[in-house]
Structure 1
Amino acid sequence: MTRYETIEAPGAQPASPGFVPRDDEEELPRLLLRPCFPVDGEILLIAGFDAFDRLLCLERAESDRAGRCIVPPPVWRAALDAKPAQIVMAHNHPSGLARPSDADLATTRESARFLALLGITLSDHMIFTADGHFSFWRAGLL
């Protein structure tokens, strides 16, 4: 029996659980989040929604150093002042690698725990690249 594998185009994102190709993105990532990310720098977004999925706030922070995924306290304060029922975190990887780093994984776990103590759900954490985005929710990591 011969085993066949698909051959991907050079530079293509490998298929992985949680990866959503850019052409398949839903409205939230495609219309609200993606336009906020520059090509050359890392940006973090915190979007707060009410219980009816209406946007209450969209907070932005620029990364001060590569390899870290930190939500500055003023960003948390501004987001929490809107009294959201749920939060979506998103940031970009200008490197083009749509996989979470160890720092991304740790920050997501800590943020989910912190928000749960306040009765707020972390609905997703998305990592954007030019080709698409990685979703912690789709990957089963939330």
Structure 2
Amino acid sequence: MSFRHGLPEHERGVIDAALGILGRYLGEPGALFDNPQAVRDFLRLHLGAEKTEVFAVLYLDSQNRAIAFETPFNGTLTQTSVYPREIARAALGHNAAAVIFAHNHPSGAAFPSRADEALTVTLKAALALLDIRVLDHLIVTGSEAVSMAEMGLL
């Protein structure tokens, strides 16, 4: 269930319009993800206000153009189970050369936990065997998105 369901109809309309505009700009196949702020904005709009943890994957081609954006795992208020096998299968299915991971922290704390760091290491190692690069893992809240790559954690 999306966070938009609990909002008044006029607010849902504004958010849906913003997502549509940003989706046409970034979320459609072929959009170039070479601007870190645009990636942050895209992810904040999609994940920032979710009430439970949602893990997302942006699949990219060799030129960092979008192939697909998916939210394969949904969890509880404080955690989400993520399965590397399923991410690898989807990446191969999309013929992705690279991925960007993201998940939200409903608590509002935009800092990676030790578990987030360990998961990223595991995912990066699994995908490296398939020659798929992990470009980043962002922790998203309603007000910000923090890059683990920029923090030196990749």
Instruction: Classify the TM-score, shorter chain.
Output: 0.7 to 0.9
- How many residues align? The count is 117
Q: 1:59 to 1:80 in 2, by over 3 A?
A: farther
Q: Distance in 2 between matches of 1:125 and 1:69?
A: 16
1:123 partnered with 2:121 = no
Match of 2:120 among 108, 112, 122: 108
Equivalent position SS for 2:92: helix
Q: Distance in 1 between matches of 2:153 and 2:81?
A: 16
Match of 2:92 among 51, 56, 80: 80
Equivalent position SS for 2:69: strand
Structure whose residues are more often helix by fraction: 2
State the TM-score, normalizing by the size of structure 2.
0.68
> Per-residue CA shift, 1:31-68, capped at 9, x if unaligned?
3x222213312111011101111111112134334334
Is the Cα–Cα contact under 8 Å of residues 136 and 148 in structure 2 kept in the other structure? Answer: yes
Equivalent position SS for 1:57: strand
Aligned-residue offset at 1:79: 2.9
Partner of 1:70: 82
> Which blocks of at least 5 consecutive residues in structure 1 are unaligned?
1-24
State the percentage of identical aligned residues.
33
Structure whose residues are more often strand by fraction: 1
Is the Cα–Cα contact under 8 Å of residues 42 and 92 in structure 1 kept in the other structure? Answer: yes
Relative contact order (C-alpha < 8 Å, sep 6+): which is higher?
1
Q: Quick one: which amino acid aligns to residue 46 of structure 2?
A: C
